[in-house]
Chain A
Amino acid sequence: MTETPTPLWEVFIRPRNGLSHKHVGSVHAADAELALQAARDVYTRRGEGTSIWVVPSAAITASDPDAAAEFFEPTADKIYRHPTFYEIPEEVGHM
């Protein structure tokens, strides 16, 4: 007998109104509705959430760890991109 593996879903939970959804983990489920329920049962048992997203793990395109050097290292010496790099003139006050 062959068994198809149950699809994997990534779970995102919004902790409170106004905050954004955060990745919390993954669940196995046959379809989206059961994935939502599994996420509810696994990840919101202690009142963690007010909203859940589930996304098929297969739908996520991830960056290649082997390409990390070309993806991320070029930003390392561009410290002028950080707002803290600039001196704000006194007259501006608080931004």
Chain B
Amino acid sequence: MKVFELVEELGLKVFSGHKGLDREISGGYVSDLLSDVMGNAQEAQVWITLQVHQNVMAIASLKDLAAVILVSNLEPQENTKQNSDEENIPILGTSLPAFEIAGKIYQAFNR
């Protein structure tokens, strides 16, 4: 599954990093501790979080993640969006809390 397919299927908002929408997704990871994501997220996963800090994109890039999904209507900081455009890793948004969006992505993946 590619990022744009997930966006279409779940009606996600695309904040930035549009050039990365054709990245292939390998799975998902949910965490709000950036140190944990640095250690444990796997390449090409989508990362579900409520953190909006600039460091989010540096870690997404370090781990070569497919996309970042911000939950509960949170919006990225301006410098976070800039980094997303530079790294071509999309930042997506949803009104749903982490539990629900993770459930939907898990279902989409295991059909």
The answer to whether A binds B is no
